[in-house]
Chain A
């Protein structure tokens, strides 16, 4: 990676606001995400985390402010656009079709086709299976039976499939909403190690969580929101649980 790319942040949020009538769900927020950086976003309920995610992923149009991707201004009018620009959001419910294989989930909505007997268009299942194997291998999840529906996999593995889909389509920024919330402890560790993998691959991760332990284990920086405004931003190495909690509750 050259210096130019290192200096321009992957994503820059400038003075972003989202108002719903008189309610200022998000007000004048600025933050950056650099390559290979994990930025945690924390805050109490109603602090504006969800509004921020939705503004970044194209669900909401911001009331004011702008987004810059690799230094260039970007406006998303729907989630598909954000996805095409390389911002992938992984929601808590993962949005997987449980009855389909990993490959079919990766390609859901944009399935590859081939011609059988030279004329009949059919789904290219082999390509889907191969993509599933190679993509999941990047996440250290070695798939042996590629036709198994994802409902057979554990919570952490399903999380890996959702991440794998984003990786396959070359997402540069992954927004993860409470990725460890519904998992047992060993599975949580796996997800954290997946986040390390994404970081090592030079992607940016926005990690929204309530779990300070996970945040301190995986993040580089932490952005604290309170009632829609930035309450503080700290390098993980220069802060501790107490300080973050104080910022969250406004002590």
Chain B
């Protein structure tokens, strides 16, 4: 007892005491790297596979063909934008099932508003008005989702499933059950034009992805998002306002879906309620393949980018190699399952750890 009381307060890192080294064994570290980079590994293998296939069957290149690259990038834009919001939501331990139909809703709203604005303002102004209206309106279902999940403690799966139905119905009602054509050449130019053979919408999506990467990895909002996904209790005790975070989170997801809807409408010069219907599962898949865990707490924007490209390469590659389209579903499904298995293995290995 005595010697403890007289012990000096250590001032600097005192090396004389045997350090309690933090440690991790090698295999686990390797497994973690594989898990973190799995989307990029999939992507590399797929590109390599299609390249070989293409050379043998057609004697031509797959990946070095600029037209193919452009098509893949355009394929990836809409699911990637939806997946941006979904990445945030899934890292926080939630899910947003309404994203697909909110995108459709936004596409219809953008089409209507641009048509309404065309006669009374210059074309670019009409496009801007339509874009702002559609993105803002897409924030409304996001806000309702956020209120349901944060204030009323509705499980995200159920709350956003309800909004899935509401957004779908409203979108079809607004569209009158059909597609809404837009007559605005500036809008069509935005959706189909390119600079140095890079499509505008791909550039816009890339800028948006960088912005989301910044928000997730370099701001308090992103940091709190990870903390809430790992332990809401820890975040609450640290003084983070979880309710307001969740609200902003689902509004962000709504905005992402809104932007995806506007770019869809630009590309096809039409708004369609069913625009995002097949993209909901694609965007969740992109996030999961990209390394996020559906249990929350992990995932990155760059991983999701890789995940979205994995799906786009599978879809476009199978079209390119002239395989029956149904194989797309099977391949994407298999990739999702493998991806989740890798995540589970990594999780088990780190969870089963006991102190020395």
Contacts and interface: CB of A to CB of B under 8 A. Distances in A.
A111 B20 contact: no
A68 to B, nearest CB: 25
A145 B131 CA distance: 46
B196 interface: no
Interface in A152-175: 152-157, 160
Interface string A77-103: 001100000000001011111111000
B239 A99 contact: no
Contacts of B218: 116, 120, 122-123
A151 B24 CA distance: 11
Interface string A102-146: 001100111101001000111100000000011001101111110
A14 interface: no
Given A95-B234, A200-B8, A100 B226 contact: yes
Nearest to A108: B238
A184 interface: yes
A134 B313 CA distance: 47
A183 interface: yes
Max chain B CB contacts within 10 Å: which of A79, A108, A201? A108
Nearest to A148: B22
User: A interface, how many residues as a size bin?
Assistant: 35 or more
Interface in B260-307: 297-298
Contacts of B229: 99
A137 B231 contact: no
Contacts of A137: 10, 12-14
Given A122-B218, A123-B223, A95 B237 contact: yes
A65 to B, nearest CB: 25
A24 interface: no
A143 B13 CA distance: 10
Contacts of B226: 97, 99-100
Interface stretch (B135-143, B320-328, B348-356): B348-356
Contact of B355 (A95, A105, A151, A186): A186
Contact of B231 (A96, A109, A111, A122): A96
A196 interface: yes
B13 A109 contact: no
Taking chain B's interface residues, is the majority helix, strand, or loop, or is none over half, making it mixed?
loop
A111 B10 CA distance: 26
Contact of A154 (B14, B235, B356): B356
Interface in B1-45: 4-5, 7-10, 12-15, 17, 19-22, 24
A142 B13 contact: yes
Given A99-B297, A133-B13, A154-B355, A196 B233 contact: no
Contacts of B353: 152, 154
A202 to B, nearest CB: 8
A95 B231 CA distance: 8
B248 to A, nearest CB: 16
Given A108-B227, A154-B356, A184-B355, A98 B297 contact: yes
Contact of B7 (A98, A200, A202): A200
A119 B251 CA distance: 26
Interface string B197-234: 00000000000000000100011100110110111011
Contacts of A233: none
A91 B237 CA distance: 10
Contact of A98 (B10, B20, B231, B240): B231
Contact of A123 (B15, B20, B219): B219
A54 interface: no
Nearest to B347: A151
Contacts of A99: 226-227, 229-230, 297-298
Interface of A: 36, 79-80, 91, 93-100, 104-105, 108-111, 113, 116, 120-123, 133-134, 137-138, 140-145, 148, 151-157, 160, 183-184, 186-187, 190, 196-197, 199-202
Interface of B: 4-5, 7-10, 12-15, 17, 19-22, 24, 214, 218-220, 223-224, 226-227, 229-231, 233-235, 237-240, 297-298, 350, 353-356
15 contacts: A95-B231, A100-B226, A109-B238, A116-B218, A120-B214, A137-B12, A140-B10, A142-B15, A152-B353, A154-B355, A155-B355, A157-B355, A183-B355, A184-B355, A187-B355
Given A99-B297, A108-B234, 16 more contacts: A100-B223, A108-B240, A109-B235, A113-B220, A134-B13, A140-B19, A140-B20, A141-B19, A142-B20, A148-B24, A154-B353, A160-B20, A184-B354, A199-B4, A199-B5, A200-B7
